[in-house]
Chains A and B, each alone.
Chain A
């Protein structure tokens, strides 16, 4: 396989709290290969969004990378560690080579500028195109993301567009400089399902046509199954299971992954059969248990789980961070 676009190694991120500091990411490692989609999946507080912000160099002021590396392979083939990049280097990369789309298109777009101006600004920052060429390119982008009547929409303000339309604008804005890496953080979570289907379809088509790699951050296992080539399941700041998408869904082996899948109402479930929820809640970051963070909610937990656990090979291209990987949970 080609060299990875992104190779994250033992990434640690901590946030300063009032008196102490809390660890939000604990030794997170993953790789993303060219033209592929890696899904980071997890619930609130799992660290999936913190991972993406660390890659973009957009951690809030009280957060910092405290260990590990983010090796990024630029289009010219040079590899650099983004954790060591200067602010100006990151600024030059963001939007040009690495682009990001967020959950809430309304709060990511500036309400005071037309969508044409906002997409055009990316070209102004990262290319030598003149005003006429920029407008032409913006128009092409709006057509590419299937905005109807793009020529008149280009002068609209964000509030004049529907939620689905705004997310299309966000995608146009992210893709206008033809980035090699697109980070999509819950891009369809705020949208209705029929609009979500449109946007996922659009993203798949753009990836086929433009060949970018996608780091797809989501809480929705259904979206993962549709979009991802590879999956990393996160829980409480660490990756607990990592595999190719078909392998992961065929043989989920970490008790958390299984619990997550058992919590989803699936079509064709036998009538009257109850969902099996994961008991309890995620422990707060400042009160993480020693050893496996999932142990307090896990039906398989025993003495061994008090020791720290890290990802190890479970099957070819399938890694699980659990001493009891693959064992059936016998629920009470």
Chain B
């Protein structure tokens, strides 16, 4: 296997606020293989969005490295970073606030090309037309304004904009969460098509584990700023090893009334990132927490090929016969 496109090493981000230090992301390490879609899953406050931005260096990390195609992004100068940025793009959650309402669609899509001085006016228009068709819209949509489109169409415009610079890597941050399910399925299939056609590498950030399992090859589960489990989608979804992943999966309502609805209901709320629990961050809500869980941050335990659970009791709890 070739070298992963991205290697995230011990990445941390802390925000210093008047009320104390927020531990948004702590010691995240993982690889994103070329041409794969990696899902980053967690609930509000898990640090998934901060991690997505920190690894693009849209937010400066407090510690750690992002090695993108052999280069450590955090050692690049401003102009080197600018060049590297062409190769990585982001698609946001809210298709309304992320598109400038005063620009026509053609200008929105080609803004990156202009900023990087690529092509001339005519070639950029051709590019916009081709991109609109590629994402399932029509070339003549380019002279319209964002408000003339539905939510799903706006998200397609955001995707076209992200593709304009021919990036190799795309971070999609909750890019389908605001859409109705029937439209969400359209956009998910579009992302799968684009990955195949362009051999894109993607980091798909979402709170919905079912969506992530559908789209992604690899899943990383976060809780309170830390990785709790990472592994290939299918095994992680069908046989989750970390107690938090298990609880998260069992909380998803399944559209089948005949199914057993008994589940592990987590008590209480996610603790404050200003004062995360010592040891395992999940231990205050974990149904299996023991004394050992308060002592030291759990190291990854390999539970299968490329499958790791950050739980000290992994082997004991899910010993396979």
Contact = CB atoms under 8 A, between A and B. Distances in A.
Nearest to B244: A194
Given A267-B210, A267-B213, A194 B248 contact: yes
B269 to A, nearest CB: 4
Given A164-B269, A193-B248, A194-B43, A263 B185 contact: yes
Contacts of A269: 214
Given A265-B214, A269-B214, A246 B257 contact: yes
Q: Of residues B150, B257, B263, which shows the largest number of chain A Cβ atoms within 10 Å of its Cβ?
A: B257
B185 A276 contact: yes
B253 interface: yes
B139 interface: no
Nearest to A226: B253
A288 interface: no
Contacts of A277: 182-186, 189
Contacts of B189: 274-275, 277
A249 interface: yes
B257 A275 contact: no
Given A225-B259, A226-B261, A277-B185, A267 B254 contact: yes
B252 interface: yes
A260 B251 contact: no
Interface string A260-297: 11111111110100111111010000000000000000
B237 to A, nearest CB: 7
A267 B153 CA distance: 28
B258 interface: yes
A332 to B, nearest CB: 14
Contacts of B248: 193-194
B207 A274 contact: no
Interface in B189-241: 189, 192, 207-211, 213-214, 234, 237-238
Interface string B244-288: 000110111111111101010111111000000000000000000
Interface residues of B, number: 46
Given A43-B180, A44-B180, A222-B255, A195 B269 contact: yes
Interface residues of A, number: 48
B22 interface: no
A196 interface: yes
A165 B185 contact: no
B182 A224 contact: no
A221 interface: yes
A117 interface: no
A245 interface: yes
B252 A263 contact: no
B182 A259 contact: yes
Shortest beta-carbon contacts, A-B, top 3? A222-B253, A277-B185, A265-B214
Given A224-B255, A281-B183, 16 more contacts: A44-B180, A194-B266, A197-B253, A221-B181, A225-B255, A226-B257, A245-B257, A263-B185, A264-B181, A264-B210, A266-B254, A266-B255, A269-B214, A277-B184, A277-B186, A278-B185
Interface of B: 43-44, 150-153, 180-186, 188-189, 192, 207-211, 213-214, 234, 237-238, 247-248, 250-259, 261, 263, 265-270
8 contacts: A148-B268, A194-B251, A198-B266, A222-B252, A264-B255, A269-B214, A277-B183, A277-B189
